[in-house]
Amino acid sequence: MSSLSILIVASLLLFCFISVLVGIWRLRWAYAVALAGMALALVAAGTGFYRVLADGELRYFLGGWPPPFGIEYVLDHLSAFMVVIIVFIGLIAVIYPPEAGLYHTPRRGISAYGLVLLLIAGLVGVVVTGDLFNLFVFLEIYSLASYALITMGGDKAVVASFRYLILGTIAGSFYLLGVGFIYFSTGTLNMADAARLLTPLYGSPTIMAAVALIVVGMGIKMALFPLHVWLPDAHSYAPPVVAAILAAIQIEVAAYVIVRMMLTIFQPQYFIDIMPITTIIGWVAAAGIIFGSVMAIAQKDFKRMLAYSTVAQVAYIGLGIGLANQLGMIGALLHILNHAFMKSCLFLVAGGIRYQTGLHKISQFAGLGRKMPLMMSAFTVAALSMVGIPPTAGFFSKWYLVLGGIEANNWVFVAVILASSLLTAVYFFRMIEKLFATPSGGDPAVEQAREPSARILTPIIILAIGIIVLGLINALIVSYVLQPVVALLP
């Protein structure tokens, strides 16, 4: 028994309310409160992670009601891993100064940071809960917070947010319907209990329908091609900090739900053999990797390019799940971590460029590399990691995915992973070339550009250093955190 898991969620919710209230009085203080809340959550998440590694699973019964009657919160290797990523990226996003990160903050004293904390609380909640319905509640909490946050990107963002709201609600309903079917069949909502009760029901068409609904719903949430249509607009019009959170951790949480379904609530065999879910996810993801990469090449706007890149990158995670073996799943989970660092770094760079120069089109960036050497070096590290150049983190996700592909004898997937490295190289090196090798065309915005302030640079540099460190220590993460998670897989 440990209350750490609920403590993270509860403290985030508490600080969310304090931040809103304080914001009415003094807007600047809302920022400080949010920072304090995230820092506290990170300490709790780190402690939880450490204790899970040392002692194994931590469980907490809400209100003292033991499962299956009460709601249970579980911190195991998988959820502790996810929580640390979510809270760390959340903290980085909150550190990033609001003037660069949230450019349409509403006036009249309402703090956007309340919403950011609510979003993070929802994401953490989805990951730590051991209850199927409670998961839906947190799913809606984070979704609602993200709809509101996206609208802060301006007029176009409102439309994008509305589209996302429609599709997001459909996705949520699919999930709820699926959970309803499971509840009708088993009479329980507790994950561990459901896992036990579901085994004899594997032949049941109701359960099959439930799984299909849940997977499709989560496919929408994680923007798995061809269910990605809401993502490019939402992520490119959202303010940089919001886009960083959405791309780096929010959609990955939907991937987490699929992994949790596959590994904990069902036996992996159900997703592999009884229903061909991993096969479908794998092939759809392979198509998504190519589609997202090609579309990213076609984009002229930096953030929009990043958004399509997210479609491709999240498909890597799907591909790893689809490989249905240990190495593939390790690749997928490692890529959740690596992509969180890379993509948030890139979106924060986009915010920094926009704040310093007002520019957002790649063609306008010529010569910026010499004006902002530190920020653009960080960008280069993140870009090289996206391409998969060792020893950056991105290389190692590909390494495990390729190993998994060879083990599964799936040469098409191997070819897709490798080809996508080259496509990614096209759109990132195009930008590196613009930044460093193309003389500026005399654009005053570029000529007067300066390196951003330390407050903008610090989170970006931390992420860039993190990308290299994660690459070098990936063996530790894989051996101590991920291998226990995937042990059930063939």
Residues in contact with another protein by the rule CB under 8 A: 384, 387-391, 395-396, 398-400, 402-403, 406-407, 414, 418-419, 421-422, 425, 429, 433, 436-439, 472, 474-476, 478-479, 483
- The Cα 9–Cα 101 span in angstroms is 24
CB 379 within 8 A of CB 346: yes
Query: Taken in order 354, 435, 381, 371, is the CA torsion positive or negative?
Result: negative
Q: In this complex, which beta carbon is closest to another protein, that of residue 71 or of residue 378? A: 378
Q: In this complex, which beta carbon is closest to another protein, that of residue 110 or of residue 465? A: 465
Least Å distance, CB 77 to another protein, is: 15
Q: In this complex, which beta carbon is closest to another protein, that of residue 95 or of residue 403? A: 403
Q: In this complex, which beta carbon is closest to another protein, that of residue 159 or of residue 422? A: 422
Decide: residue 112, CB within 10 A, 0-12 exposed, 13-18 middle, 19+ buried: buried
Decide: residue 199, CB within 10 A, 0-12 exposed, 13-18 middle, 19+ buried: exposed
Least Å distance, CB 361 to another protein, is: 19
CB 368 within 8 A of CB 450: no
Least Å distance, CB 429 to another protein, is: 6
- The Cα 340–Cα 463 span in angstroms is 9
First-last CA distance in the chain:
31
Least Å distance, CB 396 to another protein, is: 7
Least Å distance, CB 15 to another protein, is: 38
Cis status, amide bond into 459, omega within 30 of 0: no
Q: In this complex, which beta carbon is closest to another protein, that of residue 158 or of residue 418? A: 418
Least Å distance, CB 417 to another protein, is: 9
- The Cα 170–Cα 407 span in angstroms is 36
Q: In this complex, which beta carbon is closest to another protein, that of residue 186 or of residue 410? A: 410
Least Å distance, CB 224 to another protein, is: 24
Q: In this complex, which beta carbon is closest to another protein, that of residue 130 or of residue 320? A: 320
The total number of residues shown for the chain amounts to 490
Least Å distance, CB 386 to another protein, is: 13
Q: In this complex, which beta carbon is closest to another protein, that of residue 438 or of residue 453? A: 438
Q: In this complex, which beta carbon is closest to another protein, that of residue 41 or of residue 470? A: 470
Least Å distance, CB 53 to another protein, is: 16
Query: What is the three-state SS of 268-318?
Result: HHHHHHHCCHHHHHHHHHHHHHHHHHHHHHHCCEHHHHHHHHHHHHHHHHH
For 132, the token pair is: 């199927």
Least Å distance, CB 436 to another protein, is: 7
Q: In this complex, which beta carbon is closest to another protein, that of residue 249 or of residue 478? A: 478
Task: Give, as one character, the DSSP assignment of residue 359.
Answer: -
- Residue that the structure tokens 């699926």 belong to: 178
Which of 143-182 are b and which e, b meaning 16 or more Cβ less than 10 Å from the residue's Cβ?
A: bbbbbbbbbbbeeebeebbebbbebbeebbebbbebbbbb
For 81, the token pair is: 């891993």
- Chain-centroid distance, C-alpha 251: 5
